[in-house]
Amino acid sequence: MTLMYKRKLRNYLINNDLQLRLIRNNIFYLVLCVIITVSILLYPLIHDMMFLPDIESQYRAAQTFLLLVKWLVPAILIVLILFMGHTIITTHRICGPLVNFTHTFDRLAQGDLTRKVYMRKGDYLKNECERINLMVDGISGIIDRLFANHNKLLSTLQSLNEQAKDTEIKEKLESSLKIIRQDVEYVSTTLSTFKVGADVKRD
């Protein structure tokens, strides 16, 4: 049971650095707000306890102060626990997509355009996810068109080479085609580093 709980908690803390920093900052500001609110609420009673000349009035103020504290302490603890749980869930729904974005960017840096960003139910940053996927699709489309033009150019070069009948013309043409073919092979090597989702014939 304890191991399962720790595993679930670990799954929620998927980006410790960012999530813990956000949780720590949020709790700090919540505690600060609670301290300010409680101080404003209890100040009149503390003032009466310390400065009223009548002992009976001081006693009543002290009784009221203790009663309020008795109810405020558990209420504040419950609020802190609920707030911490809510903050963990909220930061998880933000950091989850951010981690997903990072994995996709890493694959993009390697030339792999097949990985999309997938969102879970309840995740935030859905608009950003859609924009990243549109970007990946756009780049994939450009690479696909480059592959298509590259294949078309290779086919044209091959056709020209086969159509040259005259020996002298063929030698000159082959010399020019050799230079062009080297450039095409360089482009082919560069394009081969990319992986795209669409089915494009690549020679």
What spatial distance separates the first Cα and last Cα of the chain, rounded to whole Å? 56
- Better-scored residue on pLDDT, 86 or 198: 86
User: What's the pLDDT score for residue 4?
Assistant: 45
pLDDT mean over 82-104 = 89
Task: Give bridge partners of residue 112 from the DSSP assignment.
Answer: 195
Taking the C-alpha atoms of residue 100 and residue 110, their distance in angstroms, rounded to an integer, is 16
Domain count, the chain: 2
In this structure, are residues 61 and 52 in contact, taking their beta carbons and an 8 Å threshold? yes
Do 160 and 101 lie in a common domain?
no
- Residue ranges making up the domain that contains 102: 2-109
Residues 23 and 103 in one domain: yes
Residue 119 domain flag: no
pTM of the model: 0.63
CA gap 187, 150 in Å, rounded: 8
pLDDT tens-digit readout, 10-58: 567 777 788 888 888 999 999 999 999 999 988 988 888 888 888 888 8
Residues 152 and 61 both lie in one domain: no
Please tell me which residue, 169 or 135, carries the higher pLDDT value: 135
